[in-house]
Chains A and B, each alone.
Chain A
Amino acid sequence: MDDSIRKYTQVDRLVGQEISEELLDSLITEGRVQFAPKPTTTSAVSQPGDTPDDDLDIGGGKSIDDMIDSVKDNEDMVKLLEDMRDDMLKDMKIPPASDDIAEAAKKLGSPDGTITKDIMDKAQTILDPVIMEPNLQGYSSVMAALTGNGNIDGDFLACNEVTKGMMDEWNARADDEGDLTADELHKQGSGDSVTRARESFSKKMAEMFRYIFNMLWWEMIWPRLVLFFLESTERFIAIPIDTPFLILRFFKKLTKKNYLKYGPIHKILNKLKILLLCKVPTNAWDNYNPDPEINVWDTKNDKFVPLDQWCSTSIDVKECVNEVPEPSTFNTVDDQENDQWDNNVDDMQSGLRNKLDALFPGDSDTCIPSRFNELFSVEDFEGPGMSPECAEAAKKVMEAIYDDAVQFGDYESSQAQAEQGLNFILNNNIKGAKKEAG
């Protein structure tokens, strides 16, 4: 390494030096490393087993045993919290608010569509990322690392067969690998099956992104671009030149009189509009649907109409041109035009949000956007576990539970009571909490 660079290399300057307490303190990761290692000298990395565990001082006068005891306290605390939570939820009986929710709950095993704690547990198990993702891919990279074979074989589990204990089957499979060492299993798992799974997943992700970008471009951005340029051109041509400020041409209402005066040009522009907005070729985007939230100026009726309606009627300019022009009553700039322009901008922004919301449903535990179910066809799945229908049913059930929790009951009071219970556990040490509980 060049000497001029060497002196600026921090690591190089630390070699053979004692690390100060200040530097060690600054290396402590907030909340993750509880015990700072004692000041030490950088040297070759020691091998496991070089230092007997009992002699290892991890700093702050603490030992490994203290750290393990602290983890035990955490475990006890979490157990108390889980028991408290289960006690609060055990008598849950939520009647279905709609037929859809009843059907979803029945799929998960509810006889009459009522949502109980058991149904909720099933839904949460289905939606758990550790369990869901490998099932939907038909492959588990964790399983591959453990067994050398990540394929999940067999038929789909019925939704009501999903339980918290279902991964015990994978655990049993992980134990069946005989005398292979952990390293050998890992190498085996790193072979073709992992590569295949990774490629399959990448392909699906690429397809999903292609779908998103195509949809965003063709259905949201492209029509607005086309309308902006073509309608601006139409306005520029049609509005009389005697308008005092040239820029106002773009904001004046395009009346039928103006339109008819320059009919042949508008005929061409209109045909271009129809071609670009209503006839997107299928090899470019085969799912194209004119967006009803985009408004197009309908010169025949002197008003804005939704794009899908405009495309379906396929306005014929020739009819307009041959009509007798009516006396114009819209010669002046009025605020309605500007408001309409602002509304168009708002529509564009809200339309974009609505599209994305439909694709990615809001706060829920699922990662499956509803429109992408078609990308994960049944043939792509190799094995058992939950089908997309199960995931959808689980998602509906969880949403119904959260909706019920927010809507019914004395929410604020129950929230206060739950917080009180939680604070009692957190603010007292575990021994104190155990003593109180008797």
Chain B
Amino acid sequence: MRNNKHGYVPAALMFDRAIRQMRDHVEYEKFLCRTIKDNDVTKQFKENTEVHPESKYRFMYNSKTVNEHTVAGKKAKKDGDR
């Protein structure tokens, strides 16, 4: 699929912005799920955000303060207070 003499597929740039917006959207929905329920899937959501190359998602959705709004965060805080 290398149709450009400079080593990349030009049309991939067309979708780059849309893909970024989709990622923004999905990360937000993952966080909303974490505020509703705590199960294996939502735990995986948090881990996937933790390892994603874009650090802004970790900053926005995995920081300590934000995590306290999630079900898992509330449970952890409750357990910690006991």
Which A residues are within 8 Å of any B CB, using their own CB?
A: 53, 64-65, 67-69, 71-72, 74-75, 78, 81-82, 84-85, 88-95, 117, 128, 130-131, 142, 145-147, 164-168, 170-171, 174-175, 177, 181-182, 185, 401-402, 404-406, 408-411, 413-419, 421-422
The interface residues of chain A lying within 8 Å CB-to-CB of B53 are: 164-165
Minimal beta-carbon separation of A364 from chain B (angstroms): 11
- Looking at the complex, which one of B15, B33, B37, B58 makes contact with A85 (CB distance below 8 Å)? B15
Q: Which one of A82, A85, A170, A422 contacts B59 once the chains associate, using CB atoms below 8 Å?
A: A170
Interfacial residues, chain B to chain A (CB-CB below 8 A): 1-16, 19, 22-23, 26, 29-30, 33, 36-37, 39, 41-42, 44-45, 48, 53-56, 58-60, 62-66, 68-69
A131 to B54: give the CA distance in the assembly, Å.
11
A130 and B56 alpha carbons, distance in the complex (Å): 7
28 chain-A/chain-B pairs, Cβ below 8 angstroms:
A67-B33, A68-B36, A72-B41, A72-B44, A74-B22, A74-B26, A75-B45, A85-B12, A85-B15, A91-B8, A92-B7, A95-B6, A145-B65, A167-B59, A171-B58, A181-B68, A182-B68, A182-B69, A402-B13, A405-B4, A405-B10, A408-B4, A414-B4, A414-B11, A415-B14, A417-B1, A417-B11, A422-B15
CB <8 Å contact, A53 and B36: yes
- Residues of chain B with a CB closer than 8 A to A84's CB: 12
Are A75 and B26 closer than 8 Å at their CB atoms? Answer: yes
Q: Is the interface of B mostly helix, strand, loop or mixed?
A: helix
Assess the A69–B26 pair: CB atoms within 8 A.
no
Nearest residue (CB) in A for B8 is A92
Chain A hits for B29, CB < 8 A: 71, 74
In the complex with contacts A85-B16, A418-B12, A68-B3 CB distance below 8 A: no
